[in-house]
Copies of this chain bind each other. A is one copy, B any other.
Amino acid sequence: MAQGEFALIDWIKVRSRQGAHVLRGIGDDCAVIRPTPGRDMLVTTDMLMDGRHFHLHQAGPEAVGYKALGVNLSDIAAMAGVPKSATVAVALPRENTEAIAHGLHTGMMRLASEYEVALIGGDTNAWDGPLVISITVLGETTESGPVLRSGARPGDVICVTGPLGGSLAGRHLNPLPRIREALTLHSVTPIQAMIDISDGLASDLGHILEESGNLGALIEESRIPIHSDVQLVMRNDGVSRWDHALTDGEDFELCVILDPTDYQRLAGDPTFGPILIQVGRIESEPGLRLRQSDRVVRPYHARGFNHLCV
C-alpha cells in the first residue's frame, strides 16, 4: 500500500468514534486513554482469519468487521464489564484492499456505535496472504467488580441467556454481545461465575468447572434451549439436536452461574426470566453429566468442534 496506508489511516481516523476517556486517539505512537478512577481494566484479544473464522468471499468485509469486534465484546460481556476502547490490526489482501478496509470499518462501527466503543488505534498492512484481523478491546469493571470463571460452587444454578446451536447456518457472523444483559443482571445480583459460549456450552462450562476447583455439572437435556438454526445444520450423521446445542459453538450467549436463592428471586421477573434459562446444576463430583429423556444420567463427552474456530 505504501503511500496508500496513510490515506487509509486518515479515512479511518475521521470515521472512528472517540469518547471522553480518549485523550489521544489514532495518529500518535500510542493512544492515550484515561481510566475511570477506582475501576479495573479488562483486556481481551481475538484474531480472525479468512477460511477459519469466516469466508471473506461469502460473508463480505462488513460482516467480518462486525464479527471481529463482536466476539471481543462478547468476552467483555462475560466479565460483566463495560467496553470502552478497541484497537484493530489487519493484514489486508492486495486485491480490493481499500474496499475491504472500508467494509471492515463499516461493520465494526455498527457495533462500536451501538456500545459506545472508541476505535483508538491500530495497524494497517497489505500482503499476499488472506485477510487477518486482530482486535483488542479494553473495558472497565463496574462497581460490582469483574465476574470470573472461577466462582462456581456445588448447588449453583447453571443458566444460559438464549437458544444454542446451529450458528454455522449464518448466525456466527452476527454475534449479539450480551453486554447490556450482563450489566443489568450484575447490577441486581451477584454472579458466581460466567463465560461466553464460543466453543459450545459443554466445552465452555468445562472451563468454569475446571477454574472453580475441578467441579462437575448435571445438565438436563430437556431444558436445553435449542436454536431453530439447528434444523439447518443437521445431517443424517447421528449428531442429535442436543449435541448440536451443546457443542456447535459461536452462540455468543452467556453461561451464567447463580446462587439458587438469587436465581429463584429473578426467575419470575419479566426482565430476567427470559434471559435466565436454567439448564442444570453445579455438582461437587467432577465431570459433565447429562440427564436424558429416559431419566438416566450419563457422562457427557463433547464431540470435536464442528464450527469454524480452531
Residues in A lying within 8 Å of B, measured CB to CB: 1-2, 5, 23-24, 27-35, 37, 40-47, 49, 51-52, 75-76, 78-79, 81, 85, 87-91, 120-123, 125-130, 132, 134, 136, 138-139, 141, 146, 148-150, 194-196, 211, 304-305, 309-310
The answer to whether A127 and B30 have CB atoms under 8 Å apart is: no
Q: Which residues of B contact A194 (CB under 8 A)?
A: 29
Q: Say yes or no: B79 contacts A28, CB within 8 Å.
A: yes
Assembled-state Cα–Cα distance A43/B86 (Å): 9
- Report yes or no: B40 in contact with A23, Cβ–Cβ below 8 A: yes
Indicate which residue in B87, B134, B146, B309 contacts A30 across the interface (CB closer than 8 Å). B146
Residues of B within 8 Å of A136, CB to CB, are 43, 45, 87, 89, 136
A42 and B30 contacting across the interface, CB-CB below 8 Å = yes
With beta carbons under 8 angstroms apart, the residue of B32, B47, B126, B139 that contacts A134 is B47
Check if A30 sits within 8 Å of B305, measured CB to CB.
no
Q: Which residues of B contact A148 (CB under 8 A)?
A: 24, 28, 32
Q: A49-B91, A136-B45, A138-B43 in contact; A28/B149 too (CB < 8 A)?
A: yes
Q: Which of B24, B41, B51 contacts A33 (CB 8 A)?
A: B41
Query: How many identical chains are in the complex?
Result: 2
Known contacts A32-B40, A148-B28: does B49 contact A127 (CB below 8 Å)? Answer: yes
| 10 A-B pairs closest in CB distance | A134-B134, A47-B89, A29-B78, A30-B42, A136-B136, A35-B35, A45-B87, A29-B75, A30-B44, A89-B134
Contact B87 A28 (CB under 8 A): no
Q: Looking across the interface, which residue of chain B has its beta carbon closest to that of A44? A: B30
CB neighbours of A1 from chain B (8 A):
310
B42 and A31 within 8 A (CB): yes
Closest Cβ of chain B: how far from A211's Cβ, in Å?
A: 7
Task: Report 10 cross-chain contacts, Cβ distance below 8 Å, ordered by A residue.
Answer: A29-B76, A30-B146, A41-B41, A43-B87, A43-B120, A43-B136, A49-B125, A52-B125, A87-B136, A89-B134
Contact check, A41 vs B46: say whether CB atoms are below 8 A apart. Answer: no
Closest to A131 in B: B129
Task: State whether A24 touches B146 (Cβ < 8 A).
Answer: yes
* Distance (whole angstroms) from the CB of A21 to the closest CB of chain B: 9
